[in-house]
Structure 1
Amino acid sequence: MPRQSSLAFIPLLTLYILALTYLSPTANGPFAQAHPFPASAKNQHGQHSFVSEQDNAQRPFNTHHQHSSHQPHSPYGSPVSILTANQDLPDETVSLRHLLHHGGNRYPGLFRRMDLEASDIQRSELLTGESLVHRVKVKGTTTLKPRDQSYRNQGFRSFDTSIGPESWTKEVVAAPDVTDKETVLQLSKMNYNSYTEVASPGWYDLEGNWSVNSTFGWEEDGLRGHVFASADNLTLIIAIKGTSAAILGGGGGTSTRDKINDNLLFSCCCAKVDRTWRGVCDCNTGGYQCDQTCVEDSVKSDDIYYGIAMSILWTVEDMYPGAKVWLTGHSLGGGLTALLGLTFGIPTVTFETPGDRLAAQRLHLPMPPAINWDDLPLFHIGHTADPIFQGVCNGPASTCYYSGFAMESKCHTGRTCVYDPVTEDNWKVDIRTHRLFDTIEGVIKVKDVPSCQAEVDCKDCELWEYK
């Protein structure tokens, strides 16, 4: 038998080497993008979470590849661009992209998303007469963020408030320019529109085995967020819906739960204002005495929307990895967004929110020691005729009293930007001025934005004794 030449093996060896190179994860072959963990993904902390093939096919945002696959490297310019405080940045134009509805205590497994296309936006604008596209001015501003946000996946009950100054980092980030009148107006309109229904084909379920017709009354439970996004998906604004306002003689189906949240978060002691009130918890020990541990445990109940608002925030952040997020809200929605902004150092603009500092303390949210409120991009816009914003909507002579509300907290986190229609226009302090429409038409549209100042010497519930 003739001896086979060794040269015959060269073509075979060459093909073998080429095949290895082609299949290598670092090459540009069909498997170049294969993840080292099968059907897995990295969260923002670089941790891998396994996703089964079946679950991966049902991931909530797979229908919007242009959103989830977009990996922005820098909100402005090159990856090495450095922002400075008060730096003017390019304007941002955002449009309503999604609605998220998370169930509360009644339907804790309910989490739904509504996606809006351009045709939905146009139809809604025709029906409501309100634009769902908004342009805002942007400035650089300072913020403080916890260096370690490992508690992100554990919920707010895991917060360690003992972290010291070394656990915080000061950064300059892009934020809405609250000195600009038109920007404040556009943000207020985002919140106003969160109270209205939007024309859309329907809702998608993000958790549980819910279908659109599986239950009745789910709209009456939980919290809703409107997500606005820029065309390049680099900027997001989440507007959290505020109190459905039975206190104002209107509102929607969530008003009962909204009242519980308002009274737990913004009253001195469970809304126990006198002996004729039962209160929303049993922490009053007589007179102006309150069990401090009891009231702190009460605000961590499943009825409180703060944990739900956090879930909405994280869902949006996971949907748009790397994008910058801003928050806004009116009334209760403003209080919740301010608490989130404080926790994570997110730029936040609220409208007519009750004092949120008391709620932050009771929730034991992480706050930097000897905090300088001017270092945080938290801005509360309100006016002197609004008794809820001023923290005086309580007592037998108030409208809040007869509506079952005790809005007693007045101290805000961050800075307040206070219009004064009482002095300038002879407005009376009246609960009806808390309606956002009245504030937009009578104040924001016609007045320049006031300067924003920290409430340095503000004290809540001075008559109460906590043990």
Structure 2
Amino acid sequence: MKSSERSHQSWTAVSKSLFVVGIFAQVAILLLILGSYFGFYPSNVSPLPDRKVAQLPSDDGLTLRHVIHHGAGQPGPRARRLDVTPDRMVHAEAAGQFGPFVVKQAPITIEKPSRVHKYDGQRPMWSNMSPIWVAQDVAAPDVEDKDTVISLASMCEDAYKPGPEDPEWMDVGESYNSSVPFGWDDSGIRGHVFSDDSNNTIILAVKGTTVAMFEGNGTSGHDKENDNLFGSCCCGQGGSYWWKQSCDCMTGTYSCDDKCVREELRKPNRYYQATIELYEEVQRIYPDANIITTGHSLGGVLASLIGLQHGIPAVSFEAYPQAMAAKRLGLPAAGDVAPLRKNTGGFHFGHTADPVYMGTCNGFSSFCSIGGYAFETICHTGKRCAYDVVKDWGWRPSTTTHRLRYAIESVYMKYDKAATCVDEDVTQDNGTEYHFFIQVDYCHIDVLE
């Protein structure tokens, strides 16, 4: 009897202990959620800035305010900025490049981690993020408005026009007393910064790929290296003889060191890090503004990666699929189909006759392969907004339709309304390998973590 009583007392004590532990655990979780919600962050954590959701009047417009060129690790100034003054706009030969561009806005919801640790260059990006996610309403372009889509595309097209001969370029950041080294402008990335009169809305248009069959035309060589770093399975290795190799991460005939590729993506002489710094310069100039990124082709890929990194709206045009690059960079993702989550704030416009946009420009005899481009990805993050010119107009796929000016005049303007944006479909099976846990590529190699 006494033994039974002692056993009962022991179980009672254990139950009380478990009950107390459970209470403490629930309180800890509640405090974590409240702390994340109300903005209590440790010193090594940067809270995500709150942005006001504002409706831009339909008769307002955005004009070009700055052109920023980042050297992407080249000798010389880290970056240079050209401020576009009213006098410069008056004397410009093509004043239409400066705007105004009418961009209607509508609120959207973007899912993002409640807090992001400052990236230290060592740990994977995903390990720097809070497991608690929040949904935030932000002001974004009205992607259902045809004129807004055309305005954004026109801003992207203008980003190809450099004007490097202007004497008013200034160095950004630390002073660089020597003259700009020869060829500095032939490397790096460039962004055109557009703003409304109140500086509440800022649009950063990132320059895309300078296409050249033979390298030496502006940034074409460096652009191609970064295209193949973002768009191929393993640095442009293990495929066509024509592909331009962007790094040396192949470990065997059918194997690739994925850690090596991830490190290459984040090197200071690569475009991703340069684009992040370009965005941070815009954020420094306009700390309280709603910033939206956009770009064509490679510029669209970079713009969308900025959007994923900072939780801001991004609109790309004719950009090749970039889900594989986003995953390798460890950008914010949630759910079992990361990074193809909903509510990313990313919208990818293009038409079905553009094999680059559709992720089909990868055959041995394709223009992309012959030109040295290794595109092996098939999925965008966010929403795809495709004009089905193949079905509607009977067009045949051709890389000649990839040019943005052609797409604007022959597709975007000709349709009665903007393309409908839908979530990327990741359920269909077209024979691809699943090396990255989701269907994002045509890779037929083993990825070594």
TM-score (norm 2): 0.78
Cα 1:244–1:275 change in 2 (3 A) is closer
Q: Would you say 1:453 and 2:418 are equivalent positions?
A: no
For 1:117, the equivalent position in structure 2 comes to: 85
Structure 1 pair 144–75 and aligned structure 2 pair: CA distance change class (3 A): closer
How far 1:135 moved relative to its partner?
Answer: 0.8
Kindly tell me the number of residue pairs found equivalent between the two proteins: 384
Q: Pick from 264, 288, 306 the counterpart of residue 298 of structure 1.
A: 264
SS in 1 for 2:247: coil
Superposed CA deviations along residues 281-311 of structure 1, whole A, max 9, x for unmatched, are 2223444432322322332233321111111
1:254 maps to which residue?
219
The residue number in structure 1 matching 2:195 is 229
Q: Distance in 2 between matches of 1:239 and 1:380?
A: 14
Which deviations, in whole Å up to 9, do the C-alpha atoms of 1:318-370 show, x marking residues without a partner?
21121111110111111011111011110110001111110011112232234
Task: Indicate whether 1:402 and 2:370 are aligned.
Answer: yes
Q: What is residue 282 of structure 1 aligned with on the other side?
A: 248
1:42 equivalent in structure 2: none
CA distance in 1, matches of 2:390, 2:370: 24
Does the Cα contact within 8 Å between 1:185 and 1:444 map onto a contact in 2?
yes
1:270 deviates by 1.4
Find 1:145's aligned residue among 106, 109, 112.
112
Q: Structure 1: how far apart are the matches of 2:142 and 2:174?
A: 40
Mapped to 2, the partners of 1:429 and 1:201 lie a distance apart of 43
Residue 452 of structure 1 aligns with an amino acid whose one-letter code is C
Q: Equivalent residue for 2:352?
A: 384
| Change in CA separation of 1:441 and 1:393 when aligned onto 2, cut-off 3 Å | same
Contact 1:116 1:200 (8 Å CA) reproduced: no
Report the residue type matching 1:196 in the other structure.
K
What is the CA distance between 1:128 and its match in structure 2? 6.3
Shift of 1:317: 1.1
Q: Are residues 163 and 303 of structure 1, via their aligned partners in 2, closer, same or farther at CA, if it must alter by over 3 Å?
A: closer
Gaps of 5+ in 1: 1-44, 48-71, 77-87
Identity of aligned residues (%): 37
Task: Quote the Cα distance in structure 1 between the aligned partners of 2:123 and 2:61.
Answer: 36
Q: Secondary structure at the match of 1:134?
A: coil
Mapping of 1:30-179 within 5 angstroms? 76=54, 90-91=57-58, 92-107=60-75, 109-124=77-92, 126-127=93-94, 130=97, 132-151=99-118, 154=119, 160-162=125-127, 166-179=131-144
Instruction: Answer yes or no: is the 8 Å Cα contact 1:106–1:221 preserved in 2.
Output: yes
Structure 1 residue 163: Cα displacement = 6.3
Deviation at 1:93, TM superposition (A): 1.7
Provide the alpha-carbon RMSD of the alignment. 2.7
2:101 counterpart SS class: strand
Cα contact 1:244–1:251 (8 A) shared by 2: no
With the length of structure 1 as denominator, give the TM-score of the two structures.
0.76
SS of alignment partner, residue 178 of structure 1: coil
**Aligned partner of 1:181: which letter?**
K
Rounded to whole Å, the distance in 1 between the matches of 2:279 and 2:114 is 19
Give the C-alpha shift of residue 250 in structure 1.
9.9
Unmatched 5+ stretches in structure 2: 1-40, 44-49, 427-438
Q: Which has the larger radius of gyration?
A: 1
Inter-partner Cα distance in structure 1 for 2:253 and 2:447: 11
Separation (CA, whole Å) in 2 of partners of 1:286 and 1:428: 37
**Distance in 2 between residues matched to 1:106 and 1:273, nearest whole Å:** 28
